[in-house]
Structure 1
Amino acid sequence: MAGKGSRTDPAWQYGVEKQVPAEGAMKGYKYLMCKFCEKIITRGVHRLKAHLAGTHKNTSPCPLVPPVVKEEMKQFLKDFESSKFRYQRNFEEAINGGAYFVGSGGVNGSVGANAPEHGNCCPSVQRGVRGPMDRFVNTPGDDEEGPTSGGKMTPTTVREQRNKVCLDIGRFFYENGIPFNVANSPSFVSMLRSVGNYGRGLKPPTMYELRNWILQEEVKTTNATVDEIKATWKTTRVSLLSDGWSDMRNKSLINFLVNNQHGTVFLKTVDASDCIKNAQKLFELLDGVIEEIGEDVVIQVVTDNASAYKAAGTLLMEKRKSLYWTPCATHCIDPMLEKIGDLTQQKNALIKAKKG
C-alpha cells in the first residue's frame, strides 16, 4: 500500500488504514476500512472507490455513503477508465506510426517546437530527435517490402531487413533494462518464431492481457508440465534437494526441490532461521518434507555439508532405511577452492588476475 507521502488519491479521505498483525507464518497486512459503513477493503484504494461508488465490481456497495461522495467516486472511476483506454489508443497509434516514444502531453500534448506534424497519428509523438540510433531504425516512410512479400530477396536486402529487426529488438532490451543473456532463452527464440509465422500486422498483447488470460493460460501449462513429471515419481524414485540461502533481511531460507531424470520440480520455500544450526530441528524439517512427498518415493536427500545438515542426514538414514543422505558436491568443492586460493603462491596470482 502506498506510503503516507504519496497518498494523493481523493478516496483516502474516506478510508481508515487498518493494520492486520502477523500470525504464524503469515505476514502482517495493511487494509482500508470505509469510514461510513466500516467495511474492510482488502485490495487497495481503487476497490474502496468501487465500494463507495456502488459499482458492484469486486466489492459490495456502501449502504451509508452520502450521495455527493458516491457521485464523486463514480466520476473518478469513469475518468480513470477513459484515461486508461486513451493511453492504450495513443500507444497503438504511436506503434502504427513507427514511433517509439509517446510524449507526456496526452492526445493534444506538445513535445517541442521542432516536432513535425503527423496528422491523426498521435501529435504527442516526437519524431526525428529521439537519439543517435534513429538513423538506423525504421521510420513511417520506410515501408519497404519484407522478406515475406513474395519478391526475390538478395543477400544484401535480407541482411538489411534483419538488421532493422535486430535494432528494434536491441532497443527493447536497452529501454527496459533486460539482461542480455535473456536472448539465450528458448522462450525468447520461440516468441520471435511465432511472431514471424504470424506475419505483418500482429497486434501485440496489452499489459492487461499479459496479467490476465495469458498469465492464466501459462499457469495451466506449467501445472500440466509439473503434473506430468510428478506422475513419474513413483516409477523412477526421486532425490530431494535442499538449497539454503539468505534474503535481504538475512532470513535463512531453504528451497526444496524434487529431481528425477524427467525434470526438477520446485516444491516450496521454508523460513528456517530458527533451526538452520540445529540438527534436530533440521531433521524434523527434512523428515516432514519427505513425509509430504512419500517415503517410498524419496531415495536420496541432498543438502550442503554443514555439521548440522550432516547430523540431520544421519538421523534421517537411521529413521528411514530406504534412503541415504548425500552432501552437495558444489558445497564440498567451494571450500576446497577457497583454501587453495588462500595459499601464498595462488593468492598472488589471483590478486594479479583480478587487477588485470
Structure 2
Amino acid sequence: MNASQIKTIKKLIKAFGIIDNNQPFIVVRAIYTNPLIDTIREVSRDVRAPNSYELLGIYLPEACQEIKQCITRFGSMWQERGVTIMCEGWSSKTSYSIINFLIYSNDITVYHKSIDASYVTCKDADYYLKLMKKVVEEVGIEKVVQIATDNASVMKAAGVRLMDEYPTLHWTPYAAYCLDLILVDLTGKTNIGKVIQIARKISNYIYKYDWAVNYMKKFTNGRDIIRAGITWFATNFVPLGSVVKHKTALKDM
C-alpha cells in the first residue's frame, strides 16, 4: 500500500465519521463496508451521501421490509416444528420500561416486537394476558407450542389463563429464573452464606485499594476476580467462584 492509498483510506475513515462520530472501530469489518467503497468508486466521483430524510423515509423502510421478507422464510419451518414465544421485560434506571417478544424455533431466535410499557400504570395479569394473546394470534396459534416468561406472579397468572384459552400451548417459566430461586435458597443456608461472606470480604478488601488490585493482577495474569453475574442472584456466587479459581494466586500474593 503506497502513500497515496494510505492518504485515501484516511479520508474515507473521516468521511464515514468513524472517528468524528465516535463509531466503534469494528464497524469497518461490517459486511457492507467494502462493497460500499467499491460502489462509490465505480459509480462516480460525484456520488453524495444520502440525507437524513432519505435515510429515515426511504432506506430504513426498505431495510425493514427486507428483514420482514427474510423472517417470512421461516414460516414453513415454524409450521412444521412449532415455536416458543419468549416474553422478557427490561427497565432502565429512568423507569423506561420495554417488553420484548422473541420467537424461537430450531435453534434460531427471531425478534418479533417490543411494547413500550413506560406509562402503563397497572401491569397486572389482564395486561400481560392481552399482550400474549395478541402475539400468539400474530404468529398463529397453530404454530405456537409454548410461551416462556419469568416466574413473576402476574406472569404466571397470565400464563395459566392463556393455557385455558388455548389448550394446545403450554406456559413455562424461564429455567434461569428457577435457578435463581435455587441460588436464593442456597444463600439462605448458614454454612453457605458464611463462605460467600468470606469471599466477599477478600474481594472487597482487594478492590478497596488500587495498589492492591494492581498487585493482585501480577499473580492472576492481569485478570480480575470480580465480574458481573449473568443474573442478579448469581452475583452472590461470582466472588466465591473467582476466589476459588484464583486460590493459589491469592495465596502467593
Q: What TM-score results when the alignment is normalised by the length of structure 1?
A: 0.44
Q: Match for residue 176 of structure 1?
A: 21
Q: Match for residue 225 of structure 1?
A: 70
| Aligned residue identity for 2:41 | G
Q: Match for residue 98 of structure 2?
A: 253
Q: 1:345 deviation in Å?
A: 2.6
Q: 1:249 deviation in Å?
A: 5.1
Distance in 1 (alpha carbons) for counterparts of 2:127 and 2:54? 45
Q: 1:304 deviation in Å?
A: 1.5
Q: 1:165 deviation in Å?
A: 2.2
Q: Match for residue 89 of structure 2?
A: 244
Q: Match for residue 162 of structure 2?
A: 316
| Aligned residue identity for 1:189 | I
Q: 1:323 deviation in Å?
A: 1.8
Q: 1:240 deviation in Å?
A: 0.9
CA 220–253 in structure 1, closer or farther in 2 if over 3 Å, else same: closer
| Aligned residue identity for 1:279 | A
- Are 1:347 and 2:200 matched, yes or no? yes
Distance in 2 (alpha carbons) for counterparts of 1:321 and 1:233? 19
Distance in 1 (alpha carbons) for counterparts of 2:203 and 2:28? 32
Which of 170, 193, 206 lines up with 2:50 in the alignment? Answer: 206
**Where does structure 2 lack aligned partners over 5 or more consecutive residues?**
214-253
Judge conservation of contact 1:245–1:253 (CA < 8 Å) in 2. yes
Q: 1:336 deviation in Å?
A: 6.4
Judge conservation of contact 1:258–1:267 (CA < 8 Å) in 2. no
Report the secondary structure of 1:213's partner residue.
helix
Judge conservation of contact 2:91–2:98 (CA < 8 Å) in 1. yes
RMSD over equivalenced CA pairs, Å: 3.8
- Are 1:264 and 2:89 matched, yes or no? no
Q: Match for residue 37 of structure 2?
A: 195
- Are 1:326 and 2:168 matched, yes or no? no
Q: Deviations over 1:66-98 (max 9, x none)?
A: xxxxxxxxxxxxxxxxxxxxxxxxxxxxxxxxx
Distance in 1 (alpha carbons) for counterparts of 2:34 and 2:82? 37
CA 161–282 in structure 1, closer or farther in 2 if over 3 Å, else same: same
Distance in 2 (alpha carbons) for counterparts of 1:215 and 1:281? 31
Of structures 1 and 2, the one scoring higher in RCO (CA 8 A, sep 6+) is: 2
What is the aligned-residue identity percentage?
Answer: 26
- Aligned runs of 1:24-63 on 2, under 5 Å? none
Judge conservation of contact 1:275–1:282 (CA < 8 Å) in 2. no
Q: What TM-score results when the alignment is normalised by the length of structure 2?
A: 0.59
**Where does structure 1 lack aligned partners over 5 or more consecutive residues?**
1-156
CA 219–317 in structure 1, closer or farther in 2 if over 3 Å, else same: closer
Higher share in helix: 2
Which of 99, 119, 143 lines up with 1:297 in the alignment? Answer: 143
| Aligned residue identity for 1:218 | A
- Name the larger-Rg structure: 1
Q: 1:333 deviation in Å?
A: 5.0
Count of matched residue positions in the alignment of Structure 1 and Structure 2: 196
